[in-house]
């Protein structure tokens, strides 16, 4: 692009002090918001096992990733689901399923970008823009609608109408606001279940906890559906994890 080379400094690790501004030390953060959010999650020591609790014969210790924490979801417009790994995981299965390896604070974030609160925000904009979220989730809980959709299908990425996208994907058309949102929340929970199953297969590990931060962590109904779908203990932390992660990095050095 013809930019001067002196603008581009060498790559350096998060926490590196790169100068001062009016007496204030300037340190590099964890590369971006999701990286900082993961660093800001107060995780317990992971409870993970190198074999499936149901079918231990299907897995072995060989190739197991000794991960540094439990799986997490940074839940916002999109959901980033992953785990902290001591090294990148670059096998064929990871590539085919669109898992990425992102540098972190001394570890790799092995994660996948999947659907998040985008679909429910779009539904709200069309169906009930003035209705509080508490009322929406209450109606979703009361609904008996049981059909689900593939939340990660291309049809839900940028439709002109999210309502029409749901109608086209379902065999039974929802008849109430609660029906649409119950379908959306249950579909999100199932997508988390599927992603965690891939994660456990690719890392050759099994986990008993799932940490959720970000805006989606405030949705108790979705958290409960996620716990039921995944079989994991959901630890929902409606905190400013990104800010906490940045502070944590600056205090380390």
Strands in 78-131 per DSSP E: 78-85, 100-103, 108-115
Sign of the CA dihedral 162, 174, 232, 243? positive
SS3 of residue 176 by DSSP: coil
Q: Looking only at Cα atoms, what is the longest distance across the chain?
A: 64
The verdict on whether 33 is a catalytic residue reads yes
Question: CA 145, CA 229: separation in Å to the nearest integer?
Answer: 16
Question: CA 68, CA 166: separation in Å to the nearest integer?
Answer: 38
Token reading at 36: 């900082």
Question: CA 5, CA 170: separation in Å to the nearest integer?
Answer: 54
* Alpha-helix residue ranges (DSSP H) falling in the chain: 33-39, 92-96, 118-127, 133-142, 162-169, 177-203, 220-230, 241-252
List residues bridging with 237 in a β-sheet.
213
Residue at token pair 């039921």: 228
List residues bridging with 100 in a β-sheet.
111
List 33, 44, 150, 208, catalytic entry: 33
Which residue numbers are catalytic? Answer: 33
């Amino acid at each position: 692009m013809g930019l001067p080379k002196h603008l581009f400094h060498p790559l350096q690790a998060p926490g590196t002090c790169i100068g001062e501004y009016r007496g204030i030390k300037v340190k590099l953060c964890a590369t971006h918001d999701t990286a900082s959010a993961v660093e800001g999650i107060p995780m317990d020591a992971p409870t993970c096992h190198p074999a499936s609790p149901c079918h231990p014969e299907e897995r072995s210790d060989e190739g197991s990733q000794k991960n540094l924490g439990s799986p997490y979801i940074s839940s916002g417009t999109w959901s980033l689901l992953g785990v902290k790994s001591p090294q990148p995981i670059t096998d064929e299965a990871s590539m085919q399923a669109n898992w990425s390896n992102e540098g972190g604070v001394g570890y790799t974030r092995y994660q996948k970008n999947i659907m998040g609160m985008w679909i429910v925000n779009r539904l709200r904009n069309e169906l009930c823009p003035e209705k509080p979220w508490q009322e929406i989730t209450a109606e979703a809980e009361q609904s008996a609608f049981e059909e689900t959709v593939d939340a990660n299908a291309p049809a839900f990425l940028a439709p002109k109408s999210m309502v029409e996208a749901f109608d086209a994907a379902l065999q039974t058309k929802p008849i109430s606001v609660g029906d649409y949102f119950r379908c959306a929340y249950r579909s999100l929970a199932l997508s988390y279940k599927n992603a965690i199953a891939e994660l456990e297969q690719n890392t050759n590990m099994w986990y008993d906890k799932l940490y959720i931060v970000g805006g989606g962590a405030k949705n108790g109904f979705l958290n409960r559906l996620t716990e039921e779908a995944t079989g994991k203990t959901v630890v929902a932390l409606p905190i400013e994890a990104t800010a906490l992660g940045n502070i944590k990095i600056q205090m380390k050095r």
